[in-house]
Amino acid sequence: MIYTVTLNPAIDYVVQVEKFRAGQVNRSKADYKEAGGKGINVSRVLDRFGVSSTALGFVGGFTGKFITDYLTSMEIRHRFVELTEDTRINVKMKSEAEETEMNGVSPTIEDNHYQELLNQLKGLSSEDIVVLAGSLPQSLSKSAYRDMVAMLNEKGVPTILDTSGAPLTEAIQASPAFIKPNHHELADLFDEEINNDEDIIALAKRLHNEQEIEHVLVSMAKDGAIYVGSAGVFKLSAPKGHAVHSVGAGDSAVAGFIYKWQETNNAREAAQFAVAAGSATAFSKTLCTKAEVEALLPQVVVKEIE
């Protein structure tokens, strides 16, 4: 079973306006609400690929019920830990020229809530995969992901990690199986400047060799991605298209890697599918479908570097 862990989920309230004007009344042309959070998005994309998963994490209050009802309506399994405070709401305001976001405050995660989640993870086996994705609530330690990865490694459970900042810096020390930093996050990890592909490869190799991370996929937006890991070193081109929906593109790439990795056990094919999946979501108004990914797949050219 694949388990996705979203420690800081949200309702994403998406509002479309003609032109956002600060300090004035803005009237929406359209709006919609959906369950948000990187791990939840991975579960949603996997579901579109025909792959089952179980969503874990924390939810609370009427907003938390919206998230569980939303996933239930999609027949996506979930076992969230119930909080006393409401799950946050993120407002994403879209106009023709730009996107403006306002992210809500995270609820407090008490120690008993955190221990309940850890107990869920302790029951997993080497036949499972765990996706740890998204930001951390302020009430959790920056080492939360690191602790989870270390615990799951002891049980032989491979972990897929997609986060940034201090939580990423901490967690790589526990050697997750897969990480997907962008080139800016990679530079921040080592506090070094990146000027070209060679710089990216050198830093990614340090993660692979020194931190023993099996798969490192560095995303570079329109410039594609670079993979460094057990399958070698190669660069993947990005499909051509018009970006209309940036939210969930990275989560789609993670889901794409997992889907193809499970199907073929081939990291090269998994990385190629991941790049196509991220682009398919970016070119769509919502999360990608399998058909959209497969249509873009021929455009993702893989060039061996080493």
CB 220 within 8 A of CB 226: yes
Catalytic residue, candidates 12, 47, 162, 251: 251
Q: What does the block give as tokens for 296?
A: 């873009």
Q: How far apart are CA 31 and CA 44, in angstroms?
A: 20
- Residue 197: closest CA among 186, 210, 211, 188: 186
190: alpha, beta or left? (left if phi > 0; alpha if psi -120 to 50): alpha
Q: How far apart are CA 106 and CA 10, in angstroms?
A: 9
| Residue 61, amino acid | G
**251 belongs to the catalytic site:** yes
Beta strands in the chain (DSSP E): 2-6, 10-17, 28-36, 53-60, 77-78, 81-83, 88-94, 99-102, 129-133, 159-162, 178-179, 215-219, 225-229, 232-236, 302-304
Q: How far apart are CA 43 and CA 53, in angstroms?
A: 6
Question: 61-73 vs 38-48: helix axis angle to the nearest 10?
Answer: 10
> What amino acid positions are annotated as catalytic residues?
251
